[in-house]
Amino acid sequence: MFRTIKLKLPYDRPLIETAKQFRNACQLVLDYGFENKTFNKNKLNRGTYREVRGRIPTLPSALVQTARDT
């Protein structure tokens, strides 16, 4: 027999904000890739890294690179 328990987990507002920023970074990289018809990591990095860092300066660089790799 199984029992389902509903509970609310606390969430961290800065974590939610970082997730939104990451989503925006992913969208910027995807838009660039579709516009330039490339999904090569090096080309995406050269074409988007500085723009993403400029638009979303609080996003850690590791997440910018992860957005490119996703």
- Residue-wise pLDDT for 23-56, tens only, equals 999 999 999 999 999 999 999 999 999 999 999 9
Domain residue extents for the chain: 13-69
The percent helix, strand, coil of the chain (3-state, each to 5) is 70, 0, 30
Burial 19-38 (b: 16+ CB within 10 A, else e): eebbeebbebbbebbeeeee
Region of residue 10 (phi > 0: left; psi between -120 and 50: alpha; otherwise: beta): beta
- For residue 61, pLDDT over 90 is answered with yes
Length of the chain: 70
pLDDT of residue 51: 96
**In the prediction, which pLDDT does 40 show?**
96
What pLDDT does 21 receive? 98
Share of the chain above pLDDT 90, in %: 90
Amino acid at position 61, single letter? S
